[in-house]
């Protein structure tokens, strides 16, 4: 039985072990670090069906919820807000946040993101090559955007970025808990300050601090929501920017096609990049609350399910030449089966709250970068980049570039 997880050997393709597995059907049992087994879903249709099935629970506090990696044993992860709750609590909290993350609100934020991205490139050009693209570009964009949206002072970014990586990349539960606790204490103090401010103070957290009612939103709920949004808001997007740049630079024909594409073709191109990179590698983890029959298999009550985004995004039933990166996929090949139905943001009621924000940041980031620095190239060969290992969340520690 394949053990899970397996490291990628290419920054933008799923690990060879998963590719092998995917050839033998849509559902597979794989073995986790603690010896337990979990269903890994590699088929697109099965993944969609399962993630939309109310018989699967996302409740991290259930004793039978699968612990995919040792760090997820940390108590801080057990009641993680929104993503780790089932209805009705999930729906109540998600609705409170929906206005701030809606397509319309995100479109209003775009000009500011264009400006801030331009300033980062100005700084890179002023300093001259080489540059370290994670620290100089990929991380500050989502980090500034989420801190402003939430009302978290960006001056504290080194602290919350470091602790987020500490939490998400910890080798064990104790490491994750320590980093998570530091973030918790920080947000606790910040929310207290907002509570003292008439009208709640700035950002989404300020708005919600004024809505704490001990029923739909307790103070602890808000702290958990703040933690989830701060973590969810910058690490995923920054690594998607970094790996997206690598993917484009490794496909000069596609980079040329990106440059030649009219603005209205860029959203589909961003979605094709999201499909290829599948930066979280996973669309969702759940536990079955009843027996579920699917594709000739039975997922028993109490068994864990993990839907692979990198593999469902390469299901040959849905995508022609699934391993090929083609930014015009939506217009041509596959027709209705365009790149946009990828499961990179998940599916079902937990589909990513920040997806519109992430898409906008990505489009602005790639366009600005390749527009302003047309000669950009990797200073380290793609295969030798210091990549994250042993986890689900993909990424590089550093991305040296020159021009």
Least distance in Å: CB of 93 to other proteins? 11
Considering the rule CB under 6 A, would residue 393 count as an interface residue with ligand HEM? no
The arrangement of strands across the sheet holding 304-308 comes to 27-31, 37-41, 304-308, 282-288, 56-57
Tokens of 242: 């970094």
What is the x/- site pattern for ligand HEM, positions 287-326, by CB under 6 A? ----------------------------------------
Listed ranges 122-130, 227-235, 262-270, 389-397: which one lies at the site for ligand HEM (CB under 6 A): 227-235
Q: Pairing state of beta strands 56-57 and 282-288?
A: antiparallel
Give whichever of 242 and 375 is closer to ligand HEM, judged by the CB atom.
242
CB–CB of 18/310 below 8 Å?
yes
Residue 90 CB, nearest approach to ligand HEM (Å): 6
**Beta strand residue intervals within 34-164, DSSP E:** 37-41, 56-57, 131-132
Under the criterion CB under 6 A, does residue 391 sit at the interface with ligand HEM? no
Angle of helix 219-250 relative to helix 140-150, nearest 10 degrees, comes to 160
- Which residues ranging from 54 to 73 are in contact with ligand HEM (CB under 6 A)? 58
For ligand HEM, which residue of 6, 169, 236, 341 counts as binding (CB under 6 A)? 236
Task: Please give the Cα distance from 400 to 125 (Å, whole number).
Answer: 14
Considering beta carbons, is residue 70 or 354 the nearer one to ligand HEM? 354
Whether 201 contacts 194, CB under 8 Å: yes
User: Considering only CA atoms, which of 301, 392, 365 is closest in space to residue 141?
Assistant: 365
Angstrom distance (rounded) from CA 94 to CA 147: 19
Q: Confirm or reject binding of residue 233 to ligand HEM (CB under 6 A).
A: yes
**Is residue 283 a contact point for ligand HEM (CB under 6 A)?**
yes
Q: How far is the CB of 47 from other proteins (least distance, A)?
A: 12
> Which residue, among 90, 56, 9, has the nearest Cα to 306 in the 3D structure?
56
Q: Which two tokens stand for residue 105?
A: 């609100």
- Closer to ligand HEM by CB, 240 or 287: give it: 240
Binding of ligand HEM by 394 (CB under 6 A) = no
Does residue number 358 form part of the binding site for ligand HEM (CB under 6 A)? yes
* Interacting residues with other proteins (CB under 8 A): 51-52, 91, 94-95, 98-99, 101-105, 267, 336, 340-341, 345-349, 351-353, 355-356
| Residue 365 in contact with ligand HEM, rule: CB under 6 A | no
**54: preceding bond cis by omega (within 30 degrees):** no
User: For residues 164 and 231, is the Cβ–Cβ distance under 8 A?
Assistant: yes
Q: How far is the CB of 3 from ligand HEM (least distance, A)?
A: 22
Min. distance of Cβ 210 from other proteins in angstroms?
17
Of 129-188, binders to ligand HEM (CB under 6 A) are 146
Reduce the DSSP state of residue 340 to 3 states and report it: helix
Contact (CB, 8 A) for 127 and 377: no
Q: Which residues bind ligand HEM (CB under 6 A)?
A: 58, 82-83, 94, 146, 228-229, 232-233, 236-237, 240, 279-280, 283-284, 344-346, 350, 352-354, 357-358
């Amino acid at each position: 039985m394949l053990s899970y997880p397996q490291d990628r050997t290419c920054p933008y393709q799923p690990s060879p072990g998963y590719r092998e597995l995917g050839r033998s059907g849509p559902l597979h049992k794989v073995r986790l670090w603690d010896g337990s087994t979990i269903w890994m879903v590699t088929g697109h249709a099965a993944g969609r069906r399962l993630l939309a099935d109310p018989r699967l629970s996302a409740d991290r506090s259930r004793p039978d919820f699968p612990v995919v990696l040792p760090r997820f044993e940390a108590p801080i992860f057990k009641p993680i807000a929104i993503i780790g709750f089932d209805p009705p609590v999930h729906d109540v909290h998600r609705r409170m946040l929906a206005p701030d993350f809606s397509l319309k609100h995100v479109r209003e934020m775009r000009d500011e993101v264009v400006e801030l991205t331009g300033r980062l490139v100005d700084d890179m050009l002023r300093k001259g090559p080489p540059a370290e693209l994670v620290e100089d570009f990929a991380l500050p964009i989502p980090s500034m955007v989420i801190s402003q949206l939430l009302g978290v002072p960006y001056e504290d970014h080194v602290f919350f970025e470091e602790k987020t990586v500490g939490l998400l990349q910890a080798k064990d539960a104790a490491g994750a808990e320590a980093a998570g606790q530091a973030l918790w204490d920080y947000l606790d103090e910040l929310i207290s300050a907002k509570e003292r401010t008439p009208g709640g103070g700035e950002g989404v957290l300020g708005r919600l601090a004024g809505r704490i009612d001990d029923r739909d939103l307790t103070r602890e709920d808000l702290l958990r929501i703040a933690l989830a949004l701060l973590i969810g808001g910058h690490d995923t997007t920054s690594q998607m920017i970094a790996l997206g740049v690598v993917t484009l630079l490794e496909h000069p024909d596609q980079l040329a096609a990106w440059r030649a594409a009219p603005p209205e073709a860029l959203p589909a191109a961003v979605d094709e990049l999201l499909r290829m990179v599948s930066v979280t590698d996973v669309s969702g983890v759940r536990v079955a609350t009843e027996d579920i029959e699917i594709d000739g298999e039975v997922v028993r009550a109490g068994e864990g399910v993990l839907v692979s985004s990198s593999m469902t995004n390469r299901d040959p039933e849905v995508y022609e030449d699934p391993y090929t990166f083609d930014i015009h996929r939506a217009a041509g090949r596959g027709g209705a089966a365009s790149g946009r139905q990828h499961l990179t943001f998940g599916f079902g009621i937990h589909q990513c709250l920040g997806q519109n924000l992430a898409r906008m940041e990505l489009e602005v980031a790639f366009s600005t970068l390749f527009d302003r620095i047309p000669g950009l190239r990797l200073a380290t060969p793609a295969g030798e980049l210091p990549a994250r290992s042993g986890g689900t969340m993909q990424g590089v520690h550093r991305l040296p570039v020159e021009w």
